[in-house]
Structure 1
Amino acid sequence: MILKIELENFFSIKDRIRIDFRAASINTAQARELSYNVMRWKGVPVLKSVGLFGPNASGKSNILKAISFCCRMILESHQHNEGVTFNFEPFKFDGCPGKSSRFLIDFVCEDVEYEYAFELTRERIISESLYYYPVGRRAKVFVRTADGKYSFGTGAITKPMDVVLNTSDKTLFLSRASSMKRPLAQTLYRYFMNQFLLGLVNVNDLMVLDSFNTYKQVILKALEICDTDITDIEVRKEQMPAPVLPVAGQTELSFKLVDVLRFKTVHRNQGDVMFDMDMEESNGTRKLFQILIRLLDVVKNRKSIMMDEFDMGLHTRLADFILDLIHASESSQLLFTSHNTNLIDVKRLRRDQIVFVNKIEDGATIVYSLYDFKDFRENMDAEKGYIQGRFDAVPYVDSSVESIKQILEG
């Protein structure tokens, strides 16, 4: 599970922000009714979901984009060549392009807490560290400093200097150690590969087939609960032409056949007619199906997932259903962004699960939760307060007919 994530100097994020999954101390009747929204790990209450709310261009997607970039650095940096430039942008003002960016994640893997961090520019990795809490006390696994020196805890990484010799300033030590088959590094690498999922998948990709076969009956039951009249889904493998990347000197675009999945649906009282999921089902049904394939794997296997605008195109009750799936799980987690103000409801989410994202005068993204507003009482209407601008993270739009006429006449 994720305990916290910190980001600094990524995209619209200037100063350090924190996404905290450790639950605040809220002992109200309303919070007790939302007990399913919290799990416990060694006595520590941890949130199952955190929602990011705010106006367009406030930085919600940038937060998820920065987290995704940092996780992909862990998974891919051992493949980097010497001339590579890292695919992110620091904050563009106040001299920040010349400063380093920082990522930290505090997480639990195989029932042990780890704290992993690194600092980098677009050209090189500056520092890196990994700590763990084997008996409740912080202990060093390794530390990599800006001058290229390393220090190690006792026995945590086998033959660490061999890994150091193969780690450049374009490569994370953790990533390299995993590629060199160091057991602890491989365990943590698998966590970022398999347990912390960075969004949805293309349902036509062959990798979806196992999940569909495993969860087909649960998917059908979920679609029934969501009031669709789909009673069965079949999947077929088909071959489709896909463009091939041109080689030097090639002027004509060429194609090759690739295997894809095609889903066919059967509707109630129409058992003899099949519908193509891609072509004949509604956008909402397709989106729900895509989410269910991914999310059922998450909730069944205690994983974590990020989803940007997860409820776009879905009825608000379907968004509720998706959150209920997470909250009904034993220990899965969801970090999501949304413009759906119906979710800003303390009868559905605790105050510490509702996080506002806003931009201040210099264009930097800041985050703060509803819990930070000490004068807010749970008998108040949080959605109404948000729309009225009480929590700041709402766009001011002068949409009067008169103002729009002035634009059109300008």
Structure 2
Amino acid sequence: MILLRFRVENHRSIRDEAELSLTRPTLTTVRPKDGNWVDATTRVAGVYGANASGKSTVVDSIEFFQRMVVRSATSWSLRKRLPQRPFRLTSGSTYEPSAYSVDFVLDDVRYQYGFEVNENAVLQEWLYDYPSTKHRVLFERQGDEFKFGRALVGSPRLHAAATGSRSLFLSKAAGNGHDLLRRLFNAFTHQIVVADFSEQDRNRRLQQITEGIAEEEIDLNDVKTLLRVADIGITDVGVDESEIPEDVRELSNELNEFFHRRRKPGPDMPAEQDDHADPTHDKRPSLKIDLIRRALMFQHAGNDGVFPLPLGSQSTGTLSWLSLALPALTILRSGGVLVVDEIDASLHPQLSQVILRMFKDPDYNHTGAQLIFTTHDTFLLSNQSDSMLAPEETWFTEKARDGATSLFSLADFPTRADQNFAKRYLDGRYGAVPRTARSFLASLLDPEARETTDA
């Protein structure tokens, strides 16, 4: 998958339609004239902005789009309401639908897919492809009414009849085995990876890495090489396995069985209420508990030899690097989009540059994989950075006084190659910087000012 554009409207702080584009200014037609989609698109998109300006909302909207595709025809279809997250700072927006759409390329075919939802139902859904300079309707949906194009073969009306009001048609048809829609569903599910760098998300990814190594789904040599790239004093890594005591195993199984009995949806029990779960991961415990406790062990070089230290003894920077670099490597090999909130969180700026270089350098990126990230690291805008962001790769979020976020690109401004974009951004030339009120500091630190304020 190559992402061309993502649009969102009425999602958290994004009230009006916002568009994140990964196409280059040279792409002025529906398809690149030479057919080369990689050259016609950017490999990275960095989003800057003040705290609470809406950077994370951009990431969250992409994640919601993915969760809706993955869950709407399964667990979410059993819910009383869809977990819509509208803009809530104006009375009208609270009751308005939210809309999401993507333009993307899969198997050299350009598509546009999108939907509009409120908490009660899917209001609109559409899928187009572009066999020529104009789009072709594969299907359009208004509520429970469907229109199908001739190019969408595979008995779509049978799948539409089985689609509930809160389910996406694409998701339901994919689950029922429709060939094209299943391929698109799989692309949205497996070729978009969202990492928010929260402690919960990082720990989950590290656990997946541990299990992947133990099951030989992840090459241990890849992990070792990535740790050497970071040059953090780790000479080796492995998985330590130990048996779980029998009494703990029995107690865990009893608790799991009890939990699943209580969680089973029924007339008096709503389906799962987890709005923030990873779309490809069910947080409910498995009835079958592993007989082995697995943990990553890291070999650290010291003056007196090499010493093994467990995962919990590693620095936050080491864990952040490993939890991000390995998914990045996977996306680079298979193709797709990695979305990272606060890429510079707990990472040294040089390691952030390494990640960017992996995506931007065609010697490393052979699949056209893409990286979308939020950051405060202005060094990436400097010509001193060997992974300097171009204007079309640089985006800003700014929140107006009414609380609504706008998203815009550095390419929207007149720019020259010799300009210091980092300095101009910090000077406020492009907006998207904090509006501070330093005068209030006196009331916090000056005793006389505090007395005046209190009076």
**Short-chain TM bin:** 0.7 to 0.9
State whether structure 2 residue 133 is matched by structure 1 residue 133. Answer: no
Match of residue 44 from structure 2: 49
Structure 1 CA distance for aligned equivalents of residues 214 and 358 of structure 2: 20
Is 1:204–1:260's contact at 8 Å kept on the other side of the alignment? no
Match of residue 9 from structure 1: 10
Q: Which residue identity lines up with residue 428 of structure 2 in the other structure?
A: G
Is 1:11–1:88's contact at 8 Å kept on the other side of the alignment? no
Match of residue 208 from structure 1: 212
Match of residue 172 from structure 1: 168
Match of residue 310 from structure 1: 343
Is 2:211–2:294's contact at 8 Å kept on the other side of the alignment? no
Superposed, which structure 2 residues align to 1:377-396 within 5 Å? 377-396=416-435
Q: Which residue identity lines up with residue 343 of structure 2 in the other structure?
A: F
Structure 2 CA distance for aligned equivalents of residues 314 and 40 of structure 1: 37
Structure 1 CA distance for aligned equivalents of residues 215 and 423 of structure 2: 40
SS at match of 2:41: strand
Q: Which residue identity lines up with residue 274 of structure 1 in the other structure?
A: P
Q: Which deviations, in whole Å up to 9, do the C-alpha atoms of 1:268-304 show, x marking residues without a partner? A: 356542111x221111011111112211101111121
SS at match of 1:41: coil
The Cα of 1:260 is off from its aligned counterpart by: 5.4
State whether structure 2 residue 382 is matched by structure 1 residue 345. Answer: yes
- State the aligned residue count: 391
State whether structure 2 residue 222 is matched by structure 1 residue 218. Answer: yes
Structure 2 CA distance for aligned equivalents of residues 320 and 264 of structure 1: 27
Q: Provide the alpha-carbon RMSD of the alignment.
A: 2.8
Give the TM-score, by structure 2 length.
0.79
Match of residue 236 from structure 2: 232
Q: Which deviations, in whole Å up to 9, do the C-alpha atoms of 1:184-218 show, x marking residues without a partner? A: 11101110111111226521136533797644323
User: Measured at CA, do residues 8 and 207 of structure 1 come closer, stay the same or move farther in structure 2, by a change above 3 Å?
Assistant: farther
Match of residue 30 from structure 1: none
SS at match of 1:134: coil
Structure with the bigger percentage of strand: 1
Is 2:301–2:307's contact at 8 Å kept on the other side of the alignment? no
Q: Which deviations, in whole Å up to 9, do the C-alpha atoms of 1:72-106 show, x marking residues without a partner? A: 11111111345431223111133111211111101
Is 1:84–1:170's contact at 8 Å kept on the other side of the alignment? no
Is 2:226–2:322's contact at 8 Å kept on the other side of the alignment? no
Match of residue 25 from structure 2: 24
Is 2:49–2:432's contact at 8 Å kept on the other side of the alignment? yes
The Cα of 1:58 is off from its aligned counterpart by: 0.6
Unaligned runs of 5+ in 1: 27-38
Structure 1 CA distance for aligned equivalents of residues 20 and 137 of structure 2: 23
User: Measured at CA, do residues 287 and 360 of structure 1 come closer, stay the same or move farther in structure 2, by a change above 3 Å?
Assistant: same
Structure 2 CA distance for aligned equivalents of residues 145 and 162 of structure 1: 17
Structure 2 CA distance for aligned equivalents of residues 326 and 81 of structure 1: 37
Match of 1:357 among 388, 397, 406: 397
State whether structure 2 residue 124 is matched by structure 1 residue 90. Answer: no
SS at match of 1:268: strand
User: Measured at CA, do residues 271 and 338 of structure 1 come closer, stay the same or move farther in structure 2, by a change above 3 Å?
Assistant: same
Match of residue 264 from structure 1: 297
User: Measured at CA, do residues 110 and 236 of structure 1 come closer, stay the same or move farther in structure 2, by a change above 3 Å?
Assistant: farther
SS at match of 1:362: coil
Structure 2 CA distance for aligned equivalents of residues 317 and 41 of structure 1: 31
Q: Which deviations, in whole Å up to 9, do the C-alpha atoms of 1:321-364 show, x marking residues without a partner? A: 11111223121111111122222235511011110111012111
Query: Which segment is superposed worse, 84-93 or 110-119?
Result: 84-93
State whether structure 2 residue 445 is matched by structure 1 residue 405. Answer: yes
SS at match of 2:429: coil
Structure 1 CA distance for aligned equivalents of residues 42 and 211 of structure 2: 29
State whether structure 2 residue 144 is matched by structure 1 residue 111. Answer: no
Structure 1 CA distance for aligned equivalents of residues 339 and 241 of structure 2: 29
State whether structure 2 residue 190 is matched by structure 1 residue 186. Answer: no
State whether structure 2 residue 279 is matched by structure 1 residue 275. Answer: no
Match of residue 272 from structure 2: none
Give the TM-score, by structure 1 length.
0.87
Structure 1 CA distance for aligned equivalents of residues 406 and 216 of structure 2: 39
Structure 2 CA distance for aligned equivalents of residues 408 and 63 of structure 1: 39
Q: Which residue identity lines up with residue 185 of structure 2 in the other structure?
A: Y
Q: Which deviations, in whole Å up to 9, do the C-alpha atoms of 1:20-79 show, x marking residues without a partner? A: 0001249xxxxxxxxxxxx98348610111011101111111111111111111111111
Structure 1 CA distance for aligned equivalents of residues 124 and 50 of structure 2: 34
Q: Which residue identity lines up with residue 238 of structure 2 in the other structure?
A: E
Structure 2 CA distance for aligned equivalents of residues 92 and 373 of structure 1: 31
The Cα of 1:308 is off from its aligned counterpart by: 0.6
Q: Which residue identity lines up with residue 320 of structure 1 in the other structure?
A: Q
> 4+ residue runs of structure 1 moved beyond 6 angstroms?
239-243
State whether structure 2 residue 429 is matched by structure 1 residue 370. Answer: no
Is 2:442–2:450's contact at 8 Å kept on the other side of the alignment? no
Structure 2 CA distance for aligned equivalents of residues 318 and 248 of structure 1: 45
Identity of counterpart residues, as a percentage? 26
State whether structure 2 residue 166 is matched by structure 1 residue 152. Answer: no
